[in-house]
Structure 1
Amino acid sequence: MNKEAPLLFAGISALFAAFEEMGISTKNIKWIQTENEKNIEQESHDRLSSLPSEILDHILSFLSMNEVVKTSLLSRKWRYFWDSTPCLSFDFRDFWNQERCLNLSYGECVIKFWVFVKCAIVIRSPICRLRLHCEVCDTIQLDSLLYLCAMKEVQELDIFTGYGILQCPSDRGVPTHVDAFIQGVNSLVELQPLTSFSNLKTLNLVGVQFDDSDIAENVFSDCGVLETLSLEHCCFVMRNHLKISANNLRTLNFINNGPDWWDYACMFDGELELHTPNLVAFWYSGPVLQLSQSSDMQFLKNASIELQYQNKPGDLRAMVLGIRHVQELSVSPNFVLYYSPEFKKYAGDFSPLDSLSSLKVDMEFTGDHMEGIIKLLQLSCNLETLCIRFTELPGIISWESRKIDAPIISHKLNEIEIFTACGLENLVELIRFFVENGKSLEKINITQEEEMLDLEEFYTLHDAELACESVSISIGLASASGTIKMFDFSFWKCGSGTAGQSIEYGR
């Protein structure tokens, strides 16, 4: 006999008992039709019911499990269709809105919801996708849920548990036969702890709390076919090491922060060890992340690093070392600031980004940020495209352009994009730096607000000593009416000096 048969039988019994408590009777429904109704049904041919089961499953995948169960009342053919759909979606908010009409307390509703979830999982196999939204969760419920998902070979799993702050109430008030089933599931979890997900391809966890138990280690230790992993606003309490081992993983999204009221201690600030040799895309937001030296991301193509906090500046070296093979990189102002001389005594020397071909930078218009971007360019010798977006209105700064003896702007970089809402008078020194040090530079495109424009500042570039033969500066202004004005300045070497002209046109 199948070892899961007793558990399956108990699950079916418990599930029907849960439905009875909800006011949905599945055994007393009588499917009686008048002769006229039968004729109407035959004439209409019930187009919905005649659709292939794959299409019906796809339609039901957009509904919560509460709504899917209610489809059993549609007709005789739909009576048991709900118990075979491979896509499950549980949302406690919908469950609570329905159950409180029965004068149940919040705690009683939470207990019934988790009974409903576990029973519905047990009675069907396989499960292609499971989505769960419940703000009330604890380690026991999470552990048993992950075990059931692994047992049912779930391929796509999305869990939102409300930042791990609300704990589940005790199981008091659950009927004896249902409580026996739940205790049986929990016992199986204790006897056969979660080891790996054999079929899981997508895992999205939002607000899940990982304490000092082994859940996190078990979940991420051996994800054989996992391709996409997203950890958003998860709480890592008392954990100083996190290992993710997934040879097929291609996308990793790690949002390492939470709402304003969150304690900083909930964020993960330990060592992250990645065994992801085929990772292609890596997005990170939060404090500086300590990447283990054994982390493997040799084929990394896209990375986005948004440092929202300044902590332990020296740790950024390990993070940069881990992403050193990246080809396309987007970074935040704090990332650029770490490259400035102000942090050199803490951060030391950074690894070169020899594979980097595209760089997108958000930065402030300050002297430290200007020096930071220069250092970053110096370490990106094969850069092809550069895009800079200034995030704050600048004041008047004392930073001035200068020529660098050693080439620091890639010989492959021929076009630069700049986006700003600030006055252009402060940008001239940065543009002067680019034209005096960019030997292959051909074009600089600037987009900004119309009312900030001061074209006269650009005439001061006539005395710049161009490193390239010629360069054009294009300024685009988009007004509220949709009108676009373009101003083009062209500069070229003329003997020992620089000549230029400006052209204005609009549409």
Structure 2
Amino acid sequence: MKVLKFSSDKLQKLTFVNVDPLDSFLSPSNFVSRLIVNTPNLVSFCYIGPALLSSRFSNMPSLDHARIHIINRDFPKNMEWELHAIATGFSHVKGLSLSADCVLFFCPIFRVIYRGSIHFGCLRVLNLDIDGNADHMEGLIVLLKASPKLEVLYIKFVDCWWKSVWVSTEMDVPCLSHHLRRIVITDFYDSEFSMEFIKFFLQNGKMLEKIEITQHKQKMNPQKLYALQSVQLASKEVYVSVVSHFPSGKIELLQFVYRKRGAVLWKRFAEKLKKTNRSMRDAALKSGVSFRGNKRKKLFHVLNPFRAPKKIKPFI
């Protein structure tokens, strides 16, 4: 089959899982030819599989959310068609989820192949998988510039290049200046690139209110986050919370408040509870309350923002 075409006026949801169950990707049973989607009333679209050649997505003005998950790292020679398909077919989408390879499509190194405009004028929520390197960061910036009304950004770090060099700079990004208020980061790596990543949003997010970080593989060094108080903050106040999950089941919550006059640090704890008390545990994470049986105790400590970072040492 050289062309697979979906054309329907009534179709509202389309999920295309182009992966063989017996193999991870690029199995002989995979569809690797041209995909054409023409569905004016489509609300939800999902594609999981290898990058296709000469794909085309058009006439989808009702699209509410879309997910494109490219699983192979060997890009086809004419991968500009993939970028063209994403940039033009999903221009009306309100929620967009892209895999790390898709983000790389938007990197300026690869964008020289595609000369067309990129614009997601209706996008409110963007969910991305990225690698911790300069190419993915440049691709992310292109996506941010193409999404002027973006309000929430979800980032998952798939991998991190520990020696990758990228330095944050101040720049004019419409969504950071007017709409983006919340950033949620999962599987965060404690590296210099990660600190520059946060610094970029602190420097440019004029409407930014919250940055939520979740860690499962390692513990964040609070002194590095504390040092970011020297950054020239773009907004009046930004809350940065770091939730660390430990094998023992304990959950540790660190919360920083960055202000133009300094940073304040709270350290709070929430312990693992039984499944029946899941709602109590969630409430504990939000309020900073630690539950032990029938007892409840609120633990927090406020540091003077002008004291030296060494004051954090007793809490590590």
Shared topology, TM-score over 0.5? yes
Cα contact 1:425–1:457 (8 A) shared by 2: no
Which residue number corresponds to residue 354 of structure 1? 121
Opposite residue 162 of structure 2, the aligned amino acid is G
Cα contact 2:240–2:255 (8 A) shared by 1: yes
Encode CA deviations 1:167-212: one digit per residue, 9 max, x unaligned: xxxxxxxxxxxxxxxxxxxxxxxxxxxxxxxxxxxxxxxxxxxxxx
In 2 relative to 1, CA 325–433 (structure 1 residues): closer, same or farther, beyond 3 Å? same
Q: Which residue of 216, 224, 235 corresponds with 1:468?
A: 235
Which residue number corresponds to residue 502 of structure 1? 265
Which residue number corresponds to residue 253 of structure 1? 15
Encode CA deviations 1:469-506: one digit per residue, 9 max, x unaligned: 11111111122222221111111113xxxx11211111
The answer as to 2:164 corresponding to 1:394 is: no
Q: For 1:59-98, what aligned pairs fall within 5 Å after superposition?
A: none
Which residue number corresponds to residue 366 of structure 1? 133
> Equivalents in 2 of 1:450, 1:395: separation in Å?
15
* CA deviation after TM superposition for structure 1 residue 261, in Å: 9.0
* CA deviation after TM superposition for structure 1 residue 325, in Å: 1.1
Encode CA deviations 1:388-414: one digit per residue, 9 max, x unaligned: 010124313210100004545262211
Which is strand-richer, 1 or 2?
2
Cα contact 2:173–2:204 (8 A) shared by 1: no
Opposite residue 268 of structure 1, the aligned amino acid is F
In 2 relative to 1, CA 451–244 (structure 1 residues): closer, same or farther, beyond 3 Å? closer
> Equivalents in 2 of 1:450, 1:314: separation in Å?
35
Q: For 1:88-127, what aligned pairs fall within 5 Å after superposition?
A: none
Q: Which residue of 249, 252, 276 corresponds with 1:485?
A: 252
RCO greater where, 1 or 2, for CA within 8 Å and sep 6 or more? 2
> Equivalents in 1 of 2:24, 2:183: separation in Å?
40
Which residue number corresponds to residue 303 of structure 1? 66
Opposite residue 256 of structure 1, the aligned amino acid is N
Q: Which residue of 83, 88, 94 corresponds with 1:327?
A: 94
Which residue number corresponds to residue 295 of structure 2? none
Which residue number corresponds to residue 440 of structure 1? 207
* CA deviation after TM superposition for structure 1 residue 257, in Å: 3.4
* CA deviation after TM superposition for structure 1 residue 256, in Å: 2.4
> Equivalents in 2 of 1:332, 1:292: separation in Å?
18
Cα contact 1:421–1:452 (8 A) shared by 2: no
| Rg larger in structure | 1
* CA deviation after TM superposition for structure 1 residue 460, in Å: 2.4
> Equivalents in 2 of 1:274, 1:500: separation in Å?
50
- After TM superposition, which residue ranges in structure 1, 4 or more long, deviate above 4 angstroms? 261-266
Cα contact 1:362–1:391 (8 A) shared by 2: yes
Q: Which segments of 5 or more consecutive residues in structure 1 lack a partner in the other structure? A: 1-235
* CA deviation after TM superposition for structure 1 residue 415, in Å: 0.9
* CA deviation after TM superposition for structure 1 residue 330, in Å: 1.0
* CA deviation after TM superposition for structure 1 residue 287, in Å: 3.1
* CA deviation after TM superposition for structure 1 residue 349, in Å: 3.9
Q: Which segments of 5 or more consecutive residues in structure 2 lack a partner in the other structure? A: 271-316
Encode CA deviations 1:414-450: one digit per residue, 9 max, x unaligned: 1100112532543110111001111100110111137
> Equivalents in 2 of 1:307, 1:427: separation in Å?
24
> Equivalents in 2 of 1:282, 1:261: separation in Å?
21
Which residue number corresponds to residue 45 of structure 2? 282
> Equivalents in 2 of 1:383, 1:421: separation in Å?
22
Cα contact 1:314–1:348 (8 A) shared by 2: no
**SS in structure 2 at match of 1:409:** helix
**SS in structure 2 at match of 1:426:** helix
Cα contact 1:492–1:500 (8 A) shared by 2: yes
**SS in structure 2 at match of 1:355:** coil
> Equivalents in 1 of 2:221, 2:206: separation in Å?
27
Encode CA deviations 1:12-41: one digit per residue, 9 max, x unaligned: xxxxxxxxxxxxxxxxxxxxxxxxxxxxxx
Aligned-pair identity (%): 33
In 2 relative to 1, CA 264–340 (structure 1 residues): closer, same or farther, beyond 3 Å? same
In 2 relative to 1, CA 356–419 (structure 1 residues): closer, same or farther, beyond 3 Å? same
Which residue number corresponds to residue 283 of structure 2? none
The answer as to 2:242 corresponding to 1:242 is: no
> Equivalents in 2 of 1:323, 1:437: separation in Å?
26
Which residue number corresponds to residue 317 of structure 1? 83
Q: For 1:28-177, what aligned pairs fall within 5 Å after superposition?
A: none
In 2 relative to 1, CA 406–426 (structure 1 residues): closer, same or farther, beyond 3 Å? closer
> Equivalents in 2 of 1:245, 1:484: separation in Å?
49
Report which stretch shifted further, 322-331 or 312-321: 312-321
* CA deviation after TM superposition for structure 1 residue 369, in Å: 0.7
Cα contact 1:420–1:449 (8 A) shared by 2: yes
**SS in structure 1 at match of 2:112:** helix
In 2 relative to 1, CA 457–429 (structure 1 residues): closer, same or farther, beyond 3 Å? same
Q: For 1:196-211, what aligned pairs fall within 5 Å after superposition?
A: none
> Equivalents in 1 of 2:137, 2:171: separation in Å?
14
> Equivalents in 2 of 1:357, 1:407: separation in Å?
13
RMSD: 2.2
Cα contact 2:107–2:142 (8 A) shared by 1: yes
TM-score, normalised with respect to structure 1:
0.49
Encode CA deviations 1:269-305: one digit per residue, 9 max, x unaligned: 4433333111111110223343436x32110111110
> Equivalents in 2 of 1:401, 1:262: separation in Å?
35
Cα contact 1:424–1:454 (8 A) shared by 2: no
Which residue number corresponds to residue 292 of structure 1? 56
In 2 relative to 1, CA 336–450 (structure 1 residues): closer, same or farther, beyond 3 Å? closer
**SS in structure 2 at match of 1:489:** strand
The count of corresponding residues between Structure 1 and Structure 2 is 264
The answer as to 2:188 corresponding to 1:426 is: no
Opposite residue 193 of structure 2, the aligned amino acid is N
In 2 relative to 1, CA 487–344 (structure 1 residues): closer, same or farther, beyond 3 Å? same
